[in-house]
Structures are given as structure tokens and as C-alpha cells.
Amino acid sequence: MTEETHRPELWKDTGAVSISFDDGSDSQLEIAVPILDQFDLPATFYINPRVRSDLEPWRKVGLSGHEIGNHTVSHICSRNFGWSGKKSLETSSLSDIEDDILLAEERLRNLLPEQTERTFCYPCYQNHVGEGIDRQSYVPVIAKYFPAARGTGEAANHPELTDLHYLTSWIVSGWMSGSDLIKATQAAMAQKRWIIFVFHGMSSQKPSRWDPTSYYHGGGFSGQEFNIFCQYLSQNRVNIPTNTVLQIAKQIRRWRATE
């Protein structure tokens, strides 16, 4: 048996794609989920399980083959954002963060007991508590509970070298087009890397111009452009495998365990 046939999955020789969404908005349910389902592409939705009634639609999404990931209950970020009245990472302890993550985990398990494991997503891509000389990473807390976690960064993930508990990702802005995403995918595949796209809100409009004042980088991503991207991934599924963050991370963990 050659080395290649030991591996049931192809993508280590091709690269891979994951499509992820943050913060669980209605526009994701209304615009993104139907397009993903039309093209049979599984995605990862990182939600904040706050109110039970808001969560119910995500149960159906999880049961249809998408991953429902943990994005904490309280979505604590740096106080530098200036969100008044919110908890901040600078004034939180590692155990505050751990409690919030475990509460989210309990609620997600109640919502969707059929999904027995999931990945984590760092709110605002930040992974620290405290500041200055007392600043600490909470990545080790995440590594205790999750097979992988998504942050952000410059390069796409090298399957053998990336830190599975702080995966890099490619943040999609509202002003981008489907062809921008296709080009980013092709660049990652040329390097045999795993590219994880991050979407926030979706929009029924064409891409808006870049707005430097918008936290969402120019508004939601256009459903029409998302359709173009998903159609491309679907037509190229043999050479460009697309799967949830959980499934790709598990595959990498299996490779690492046997090599």
C-alpha cells in the first residue's frame, strides 16, 4: 500500500476550505443557510447562546449537518472597543472566561445534544485576559475543552504546523465580491493550506463600498456574491474539499496522531 492510500481523505494534497459565521444573526439564517444547503456545503456557525427563543432556529441548522460552534455567552472583548457597561478582557480572570465558555457549552448541548463536540471561536479574535505585565493567554483554557478554536491572522493554516487552538482565518468584508473569495481560495489551495473564511452579517444588496467606520467592515456580505462563491466550491468539490472547522480539525488531529 502506498502512503497515499493510507489516507482516506484527499485534501492534505489539495488544501481545504471552511466557511464560518460569527454571532448568529437572522441574516445568516435567511440568506446564507439556504444557499449553503442548495449547494450541499457544510459550514460552522459560532453563536452566543443567550436567550432560548433566539436559539431554536439554530437547532434545525445543526441537525441539517452544519456545525454549531461555541462563541461564549457574553462575548467579552477588549475594553478598547469602548462598549460601555460591558465586561472586558482586561478586567476578567481566566476563571471568569472559563465559566462563560462552559455556560455556553451547557446551553449548546441542551439545544443540540445530537452534536457531541464542537469548536470554539474567540470573540473579537482576542485570546487574552488582563493587561500589561499581568496579561495572560486563555488559549490553554480553550485547549482543555475543545478539539480546535478559530482566531484570525495573516496566512491560511498549514495542516502540519498550525496551532489548532488558535487557527488563522480570512475575514470577509461587505465590499468584497465572490471572485475575491475564489481568488483567496485558489491562493490557499496552491499552498495546500486550509483557509477558513469568517462572515458576519449577510445582505440582500450588492457589495457596499468600504466603510472604515463600520465594525462590520462595510456591512453584510451580499447573498448574490455568496451564491457565486458557493457555486464555485460546489463545482470544484473534488479538488477543493469544503467542510466544517470541526471536521477538518479532527482530520488534522488524526494525521498528527499517526505520523
Exposure class string for 41-56: b at 16+ Cβ within 10 A, else e: bbbbbbbbbeeeeebe
Closer by beta carbon to Zn ion, 51 or else 257: 51
Q: Which three cell numbers stand for residue 222?
A: 451580499
Q: Which stretch binds Zn ion (CB under 5 A): 55-63, 88-96, 116-124, 132-140?
A: 116-124
- Of 123 and 159, CB closest to Zn ion: 123
Which of 195, 187, 190 minimizes the C-alpha distance to 171? 195
Helix, strand or coil, per DSSP, at residue 72: coil
Least distance to Zn ion from the beta carbon of 124, Å? 6
CB of 223 to Zn ion, least distance (A): 20
C-beta of 74 vs 247, nearer to Zn ion: 74
Residue with cell 437547532: 59
By beta-carbon proximity to Zn ion, the closer residue of 44 and 185 is 44
Q: Which is nearer to Zn ion, 23 or 90 (CB)?
A: 23
Is 100 a binding residue for Zn ion by CB under 5 A? The answer is: no
Residue 22 makes contact with Zn ion by CB under 5 A: yes
Is 90 a residue that touches Zn ion (CB under 5 A)? no
Strands 194-199 and 170-171: parallel
Q: Is 39 buried (19+), middle (13-18) or exposed (0-12) by CB count in 10 A?
A: middle
**Residue 139: CB minimum distance to Zn ion, A:** 17
Return the biggest CA–CA distance within the chain: 61
Binding residue for Zn ion (CB under 5 A) from 9, 12, 14, 23? 23
- Residue least distant from Zn ion (Cβ): 22
Q: Are 174 and 221 in contact (CB under 8 A)?
A: yes
Contacting residues toward Zn ion, per CB under 5 A:
22-23, 123
